[in-house]
């Protein structure tokens, strides 16, 4: 059921629209995502916790919601903003409409917004606090104050909020076969907000996976006799995650093979002595060109991050491996004297191109090479 709604930014910008989902008030950091497909994967990505997503693609909801495209068990975004909402899904896999899913998950959304104007505003002024509200629940003045009161993501450790509480095994491969891994390799994946397709690709290309809580100690993980460590994506600022950084330093000391993605990439860099910074409006989309610095090969990648590693802060023993061709920000690193590497974007896609899924095979090669040494 639709209702009058408003979208208000902390700088006082007001957008009137039509609400759908739950009639409520919500705040968060507003970002824009340029993907043309995959809204279900995007809103269920834990990396979007405390963020309100603006979709630049004009039609959202056309394909409904299905069972296979969940990247976690629930919606993590605080709200969504669209130009035009379709409540009549048409897709052979669809089990429910987007609105029904939002209602089930207690999420508010707003449509009839000029998303091009909003996106241009965010590109010029940067991501900022935002309030999305049903007009029956909040006045314009109250919404502006709510947006201004949002504390932002800097200094915020959200990884431990979205991480699994209990360890679990994952052996299922990629869609549509979902083959069970027959590998004897044991990979321990730290869950800082891990996406399911990352787990599928680890099982498909590397080995059986044990997923552990973000704060699981070095000794607890080593007792599992891992062949390699995976550091997952996740929300928030990497710098407050001192528990993770300390653990990674210990894994580096014992030459444990490590592969990090997104937040995991940032944490690996911090463990190596580098620094991170908050980006103006981040990278969120499935059309981002990234170049391998050594081979000059260009990959079209999926991206979702608001923080980046400061390339100038990389110390001895760490080399830059990938850069963004949009803004030259650092996209990948390799340790020259340790079996560790990471990538800022999302090689698992979901949604997005699969150009750089070879990184999972690179991790397999690294794990096997290390196993031979031992």
Report pLDDT digits (tens) over 50-63. Answer: 999 999 999 999 99
Is the pLDDT assigned to residue 147 strictly greater than 80? Answer: yes
Same fold, 3-149 and 159-373: no
Is the pLDDT assigned to residue 41 strictly greater than 70? Answer: yes
Query: Which of 17-31, 164-178, 257-271 is predicted with the least confidence, judged by mean pLDDT?
Result: 164-178
Q: Which strands, in side-by-side order, build the sheet including 298-309? A: 168-170, 208-213, 186-191, 228-231, 258-261, 340-343, 330-335, 318-324, 276-292, 298-309
- What is the per-residue pLDDT for 100? 97
Report pLDDT digits (tens) over 175-215. Answer: 888 889 889 999 999 999 999 999 999 999 999 999 999 99
> Environment class of residue 182 by beta-carbon count within 10 Å: exposed (0-12), middle (13-18) or buried (19+)?
exposed
How many residues are there in the chain? 374
Backbone φ and ψ of 350, nearest 5°: 55, 70
d(CA 146, CA 27): 7
- What is the per-residue pLDDT for 133? 98
- What is the per-residue pLDDT for 294? 97
| CATH number for the domain whose boundaries are 3-149 | 3.50.30.20
The H or E element spanning position 369 is helix 358-373
DSSP for residue 372: H
> Are the CB atoms for 275 and 297 separated by under 8 Å?
no
Report pLDDT digits (tens) over 68-94. Answer: 999 999 999 999 999 999 999 999 999
Is the pLDDT assigned to residue 174 strictly greater than 80? Answer: yes
- What is the token pair recorded at 335? 């340790």
- What is the per-residue pLDDT for 252? 98
Tell me what the pLDDT averaged over the chain comes to. 97
- What is the per-residue pLDDT for 178? 85
Is the pLDDT assigned to residue 6 strictly greater than 90? Answer: yes
pLDDT level of residue 374 (50, 70, 90 thresholds): low
When pLDDT is averaged across residues 211-238 and rounded to a whole number, the result is: 98
DSSP codes joined into one string, 121-164: HHHHH--EEEEEEETTT--HHHHHHHHHH---STT-B-HHHHS-
Q: Which residues pair with 190 in a beta bridge?
A: 212, 231
- What is the per-residue pLDDT for 197? 97
DSSP codes joined into one string, 16-29: EEEEEE---EEEEE
Mind telling me the catalytic residues? 262, 346, 348
Q: Are strands 14-21 and 3-9 parallel, antiparallel or unpaired?
A: antiparallel
227-260 core/surface letters (b: 16 or more CB in 10 A; e: else): bbbbbbbbbbbbbbbeebbebbeebbeeebbbbb
Is the pLDDT assigned to residue 371 strictly greater than 90? Answer: no
Is the pLDDT assigned to residue 242 strictly greater than 70? Answer: yes
Is the pLDDT assigned to residue 370 strictly greater than 90? Answer: no
> Are the CB atoms for 243 and 249 separated by under 8 Å?
no
Q: Which residues pair with 133 in a beta bridge?
A: 6, 25
Q: Which residues pair with 341 in a beta bridge?
A: 259, 334
- What is the per-residue pLDDT for 175? 84
Q: Are strands 298-309 and 258-261 parallel, antiparallel or unpaired?
A: unpaired
Report pLDDT digits (tens) over 87-134. Answer: 999 999 999 999 999 999 999 999 999 999 999 999 999 999 999 999
pLDDT level of residue 328 (50, 70, 90 thresholds): very high
Is 3.40.50.880 the CATH number for 159-373? yes
Rg (CA), the chain: 20
Domain boundaries, the chain: 3-149, 159-373
Is the pLDDT assigned to residue 14 strictly greater than 90? Answer: yes
């Amino acid at each position: 059921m639709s209702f009058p709604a408003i979208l208000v930014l902390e700088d006082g910008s007001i957008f009137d629209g039509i609400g759908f989902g739950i009639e409520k008030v919500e705040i968060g950091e507003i970002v824009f995502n340029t993907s043309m497909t995959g809204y279900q994967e995007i809103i269920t990505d834990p990396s979007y916790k405390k963020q309100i997503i603006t979709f630049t693609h004009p039609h959202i909801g056309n394909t409904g919601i299905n069972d296979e495209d969940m990247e976690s068990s629930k919606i993590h975004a605080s709200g969504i903003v669209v130009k035009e909402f379709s409540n009549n899904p048409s897709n052979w896999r669809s089990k429910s409409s987007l609105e029904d899913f939002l209602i089930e998950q207690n999420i508010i959304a707003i449509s009839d917004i000029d998303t091009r104007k909003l996106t241009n505003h965010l590109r010029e002024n940067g991501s900022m606090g935002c309030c999305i509200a049903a007009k029956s629940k909040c006045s314009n003045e109250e919404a502006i104050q709510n947006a201004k009161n949002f504390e932002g993501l800097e200094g915020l450790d959200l990884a431990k909020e979205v991480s699994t509480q209990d360890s679990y095994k994952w052996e299922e491969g990629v869609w549509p076969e979902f083959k069970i891994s027959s590998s004897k390799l044991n990979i321990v994946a730290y869950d800082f907000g891990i996406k399911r397709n990352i787990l599928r690709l680890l099982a498909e290309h590397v080995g059986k996976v044990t997923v552990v809580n973000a704060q699981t100690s070095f000794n607890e993980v080593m007792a599992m006799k891992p062949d390699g460590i995976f550091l997952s994506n996740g929300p928030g600022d990497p710098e407050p995650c001192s528990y993770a950084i300390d653990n990674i330093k210990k894994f580096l000391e014992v030459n444990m093979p490590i592969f990090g993605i997104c937040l995991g990439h940032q944490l690996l860099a911090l463990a190596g002595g580098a620094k991170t910074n908050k980006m103006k409006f981040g990278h969120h989309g499935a059309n981002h060109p990234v170049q391998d610095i050594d081979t000059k090969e260009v990959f079209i990648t999926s991206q979702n991050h608001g923080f980046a590693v400061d390339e100038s802060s990389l110390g001895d023993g760490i080399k830059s491996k990938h850069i963004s061709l949009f803004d030259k920000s650092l996209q990948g690193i390799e340790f020259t004297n340790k079996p560790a590497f990471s990538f800022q974007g999302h090689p698992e896609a979901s949604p997005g191109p699969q150009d750089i899924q070879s990184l999972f095979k690179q991790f397999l090669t690294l794990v096997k090479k290390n196993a031979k040494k031992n």
